[in-house]
Amino acid sequence: MDYGIGSFTRMGAGFAPMALGIALAILGVVIFLEAWKTSETWLPPAWRPFLAITIGILAWVGLVETTGLFIATFAQVIICSLALPSPRWRNVIMLAGILAVSGYALFVIQLGVPLEAIG
Amino acid sequence: METLQLLALGFEQALTPQALLFCFVGVSLGTFIGVLPGIGSLTTIALCLPLTFHLEPLLGLIMLAGIFYGAQYGSSTASILLNVPGSAPAAITCLDGYPLARQGRAGVALFITTITSFIGGSFAIILLIFFAPVLAKFAISFSAADYFSIMILALTAASTLSVGSPVKGLAMVTLGLLMGLVGTDINSGQFRFTFGLPALSDGINLVALAMGLFGVAEILNNLASGKAPEPLKEKISFKQMLPTRDDLKAMRFSCLRGSAIGSFIGMLPGTGPTIATFMAYAGEKRLSRHPEKFGQGAIEGISAPEAANNASVQAAFIPTLTLGVPGDAIMAVMLGGLLIHGITPGPQLVTTDAALFWGVVASFWIGNVILLILNLPMIGLWVWLLRIPYHFLFPAVLFLICIGVYSVNNNSVDVLLTLGFGIMGFFMNRFGFPSAPLLLGFVLGPLIEENFRRALVLSDSQLSTFIERPVSLVFLLLTCALLVYSFSRRASAADESDTRVNP
């Protein structure tokens, strides 16, 4: 495929990406130079909550179309709750149950989203 | 009066039982989610947006407007009671709202917020009713070059007038513009930046982007920085909400001044509630005979900025609806919502689709009234919601984000994108890159490209068309002035001290 830049009369599909890309590159250099002058150190985030939330959402995406909404929701809520230092599992399971049932009622039954409860 | 006749027509449409029902549902839902701690108004709107897609345009818009008001109000309730501002304007309300809450006068603070929001909103709606048709008439003569320049001004204002580095703001706008190009190029039919994914051929899903940058990123921020909001301890009853005579006296004029400032700022392209609330607060402090009381729980310190906040978000609908140019990220999401409903805002909306336009305007006001009668008696319920601990909230919100994004296109790739944008937004926050300009750039990207292209075709590819047309020239000059101003202000601020506020 050809992403031509074209002329001003007949702008090709590549014109705007090219112009914006150049602008962004220049701004990037300016930000780099600004940051060079200051001496801020960066604090790494707390990895446990970061990973728990990331993996929890990935689990929902991976499971929802194969094993159904219920299992995906339980997996998501349980994995995301690992973001906390000491999750109270009884509450977490209850929350997952409430969310799965009410999510099914609202989105699948009411709004017609084509998902199975259990796949 | 032609305007009043059209307005009556609008009320006729917005007062059907069905319309009232959806307005009510929207307001309740918006307040319900908006009040949950740690969820800002933008996340709330993005979260509720898919629920309106299944309705016919007018009903969908009425519900969307209700969600919009509810979300604004709910977030300010949460920020006053918990002192966790979900947005920059709410941070101003916290300055005096939280001290009032600490003095056991949280009820009064909430009452004042409710009333002043209503007055500010109504003030701006009246302005919208009389000013929007005039602006639309004027804007109908705007050419593509003029639109291009207005959008450039709006983007520049939104990225440089906020807190933080103007360069970073501009970089985020540019990135947003680039992300707006993803999908099929309408002129050549070629796929751009789709990486071979069919899910991207219609472009990045707005709901996925907004939920990622704001919803997921907020949660990551709260948890991974150890700043999870604490649940509320105290109780508030309706009786505690009643203000004293002195409170009402303090509120009276400050609220009108706030409304006026808010309406004016809100109408300008690219200037949102952040600037309006800040200016209203600073103005009251300067006017007051007791400036030392500000920050200690001054009534004027919440009534003026809250009125300004609601007036400005309401007045921001004037450029959004008549020009199709949103002023801030929330308006950008609203504009995206309109586009999804098949409505293209612009001068022709006001003239040719008058029934729809006036129906929406009328429902704005009805939404405000419903908000007022819903909130005063139901304050107990909203306060109860603030007692939900965060460890229940965040998995629930993440679930709503997943299924909400999924439901837009019944597509799980969108949920993956949301996660990606969430991680991106999280690191952007940590490094001081603002998310709001990115979202605005994203919505305006295709419009800017199209108007630039059309302007050049119309002028036989003469770039000078942008400075030969007077309207376009004025907006470009304003853009230059704004750039010079914000960079010189930044330079002088950097000399004094590096004051940093969280975006």
Q: What is the per-residue DSSP string for B63-82?
A: HHHHHHHHHHHHHHHHHHHH
Q: Model confidence over B64-86: pLDDT tens digits?
A: 888 888 888 888 887 777 776 66
User: What would the two tokens of residue B377 be?
Assistant: 């008696």
**pLDDT in the model for residue A76:** 95
* Spatial CB neighbours of A51, under 8 Å, sequence gap ≥ 6: none
**pLDDT in the model for residue B87:** 66
User: What would the two tokens of residue B445 be?
Assistant: 């990207």
For residues B483-500, average pLDDT:
68
* Spatial CB neighbours of B239, under 8 Å, sequence gap ≥ 6: B107
User: What would the two tokens of residue A72 be?
Assistant: 């995906």
Residue to test with chain A: of B192, B398, B495, most A Cβ within 10 A: B398
**pLDDT in the model for residue A97:** 94
Q: Is residue B501 part of a domain?
A: no
State the Cα–Cα distance between residues A59 and B37, nearest whole angstrom. 25
Backbone φ and ψ of B183, nearest 5°: 120, -155
CB B123 within 8 A of CB B304: no
ipTM: 0.92
DSSP secondary structure of B453-472 = HHHHHHTTT-TTHHHHSHHH
Confidence of residue B163 (pLDDT cuts 50, 70, 90): low
CB contact under 8 A, A87 and B391: yes
- The partner residue sitting opposite A9, judged by closest CB among B187, B400, B460, is B460
Backbone φ and ψ of B108, nearest 5°: -65, -40
Distance, in angstroms, between B228 CA and closest chain A CA? 10
> Which positions in chain A touch B174 (Cβ < 8 Å)?
20, 23-24, 27
User: For residue B363, what are the domain limits?
Assistant: 2-495
CB contact under 8 A, A46 and B51: no
CB B143 within 8 A of CB B257: no
**pLDDT in the model for residue B85:** 65
Distance, in angstroms, between A12 CA and closest chain B CA? 8
Q: From A62, which residue of chain B is nearest by alpha-carbon distance?
A: B412
Q: Which of residues 28-57 of A touch B (CB under 8 A)?
A: 28, 30-31, 34, 42, 45-47, 49-50, 53-54, 56-57
Q: Model confidence over B166-208: pLDDT tens digits?
A: 899 999 999 999 999 998 887 777 888 888 888 888 889 888 9
**DSSP three-state, residue B192:** strand
CB contact under 8 A, A9 and B461: yes
State the Cα–Cα distance between residues B458 and A51, nearest whole angstrom. 52
State the Cα–Cα distance between residues B227 and B474, nearest whole angstrom. 45
A17 touches chain B (CB under 8 A): yes
**DSSP three-state, residue B191:** strand
Size of interface A-B (CB pairs under 8 A): 146
A95 touches chain B (CB under 8 A): yes
CB contact under 8 A, A8 and B220: no
* Spatial CB neighbours of B28, under 8 Å, sequence gap ≥ 6: B70, B374
CB contact under 8 A, B399 and A60: yes
**pLDDT in the model for residue B107:** 83
**pLDDT in the model for residue B496:** 52
CB contact under 8 A, A95 and B453: no
For residues B204-225, average pLDDT:
88
Give ∠ CA B443-B77-B325 in degrees, rounded to 5. Answer: 20
- The partner residue sitting opposite A111, judged by closest CB among B398, B407, B431, is B407
**pLDDT in the model for residue B497:** 45
Half-sphere exposure of B37 (CA within 13 A, CB side): 23
Q: How many domains does chain B have?
A: 1
> Which positions in chain B touch A93 (Cβ < 8 Å)?
none
- The partner residue sitting opposite B223, judged by closest CB among A27, A53, A115, is A53
State the Cα–Cα distance between residues B415 and A58, nearest whole angstrom. 9
Residue showing tokens 């959402």: A57
pTM of the predicted model as reported, rounded to 2 decimal places? 0.85
For residues A20-48, average pLDDT:
86
Q: Model confidence over B415-442: pLDDT tens digits?
A: 999 999 999 999 998 888 988 889 989 9
A99 touches chain B (CB under 8 A): yes
Residue B271 has pLDDT above 80, yes or no: no
A89 touches chain B (CB under 8 A): no
- The partner residue sitting opposite A8, judged by closest CB among B399, B431, B461, is B461
**pLDDT in the model for residue B502:** 40
Q: What is the mean pLDDT of chain B?
A: 84
Residue A5 has pLDDT above 70, yes or no: yes
A66 touches chain B (CB under 8 A): no
Give the residue, B137 or A11, on which the prediction is more confident: B137
State the Cα–Cα distance between residues A94 and A102, nearest whole angstrom. 12
CB B334 within 8 A of CB B143: no
CB contact under 8 A, B187 and A13: yes
**pLDDT in the model for residue B257:** 93
> Which positions in chain A touch B423 (Cβ < 8 Å)?
54
Half-sphere exposure of B131 (CA within 13 A, CB side): 20
Q: Model confidence over B338-360: pLDDT tens digits?
A: 888 888 888 888 888 888 888 88
Q: Is residue B430 part of a domain?
A: yes
User: What would the two tokens of residue B437 be?
Assistant: 């300009």
User: What would the two tokens of residue B409 be?
Assistant: 């296109």
Residue showing tokens 């729809």: B356
CB contact under 8 A, A24 and B175: yes
State the Cα–Cα distance between residues B468 and B209, nearest whole angstrom. 37
> Which positions in chain A touch B177 (Cβ < 8 Å)?
16, 20
State the Cα–Cα distance between residues B415 and B407, nearest whole angstrom. 10
